[in-house]
Structures are given as structure tokens and as C-alpha cells.
Amino acid sequence: MDSIKTQWISLIHQLQDQICAALEACDGKAVFVEDKWERAEGGGGKTRVISQGNVFEKGGVNTSVVFGKVTDTMRAQLKINGDQWFACGMSIVIHPLNPFVPTVHCNYRMFELYDADNNVIDRWFGGGTDLTPYYLFEEDARHFHQTYKTVCDGFDQSFYPLFKQECDDYFVNRHRNNERRGIGGIFYDH
């Protein structure tokens, strides 16, 4: 059986292909342009951008698989100990042309931490999704939040209120008098 790491890498690349194909089909005009990149310290990714379409003004569906040595800054910020790290994830931001359709953002990732002998000593998943409508339709907002609540409740009924609060706290523009970005969503991390 493949490791969780191998399965996750395969999953995000498969999802990137499926999501890009579905968005291109929905748009009917624009296609994604791919830019592969490498990180000097280890790893790389695939950035895919769609723009100037019939439906989408601009959007990105991106994956990254990166790794490196744990730095003192990482140890302090994440309160972790270890020698090497690995992170792999997918992020999506979609801006529609129609102002009655909201912007969507999501980011899901896996992080592994290794000791000096390359043994996994910690692993976690993080990420979330939020929605930014330009014109608020309350029934759409309720549907969005209820969908995530239903999914979270399938695992643990404490997840949705916790993850929703994390999102509400995370997506606040403190420099703009604590203005919230959109209607929130869910967010979770280490």
C-alpha cells in the first residue's frame, strides 16, 4: 500500500486535473495555462491560471510539493521540533465575471515532520474554504455553510463550529477596522 504522503500527492494532482477540466468546460472559452516551477531548497509545483473567459475573469488551481530543513523560525512559529519537513497541497482562487457569483478560495495541505533518520514524527492536514460574495444572497450563504456543517458533522459534530470560528478569526482585515472577508467558511491547521 502506498504511503499517506504518496496517496496525497496523487490525490491533489488528480483533483487539479479534474477541477481544471470542469472549469474549462463550464467556461467554454478560456483554458488553463500551466507554469511548472521548482523551489531551489527542494520541490516545486504546477501553477494553472485561467483568464478572460466567458464565465471566469481569472482563476488559479495550483499544486505544490515542497520540502526542506526545519529552521529555527519554523520551530518557534509552529512549536515543532524535527530535522526535515515536507508539505504538499492545492490552492484555488476563482474570480467570476458575473458580480452575482461569489469569489471562492480554498487551500488544503498535508505537512509531515521527520527526525534526523527520516522517520515521520508528526503529520497533519490543514486548510479551508471561504466564500466572498459581491452581492449577498442569504439562502446561498446558508447553503454554503450547511454543506460544510454536514460534511464536518460526518466526522465529529464539534468540528464545524470550531473550524468556522477559526475561519472567521483568520480572515479578518485588521488594517481595515476588522473588516471580514466575505461570509467565512471553515479553516483548520496544526
First-to-last C-alpha distance (Å) of the chain: 26
The answer to whether the CB of 105 falls within 8 A of the CB of 76 is no
Q: Taking the domains of the chain in order of start, what are their residue ranges?
A: 4-135
Where does the pLDDT of residue 2 fall: very low under 50, low under 70, confident under 90, or very high at 90 and above? confident
User: What fold, for 4-135?
Assistant: oxygen-dependent coproporphyrinogen oxidase (3.40.1500)
Q: What span, in angstroms and rounded, lies between the C-alpha atoms of 110 and 91?
A: 12
Tens-digit pLDDT profile for residues 71-91: 888 888 877 888 899 999 999
Joined together, the cell numbers standing for residue 55 give 464565465
What confidence tens digit (pLDDT) does each residue in 96-131 have? 999 999 999 999 999 999 998 999 999 999 999 999
Report residue 158 as a C-alpha cell: 464539534
> Is 105 in the active site?
yes
Instruction: Grade residue 173 by pLDDT with cuts at 50, 70 and 90.
Output: confident
Catalytic residue among 13, 105, 143, 145: 105
Look at 33 and 170; give whichever has higher pLDDT.
Answer: 33
Predicted pLDDT of residue 1: 61
What value does the mean pLDDT take over residues 153-174?
A: 92
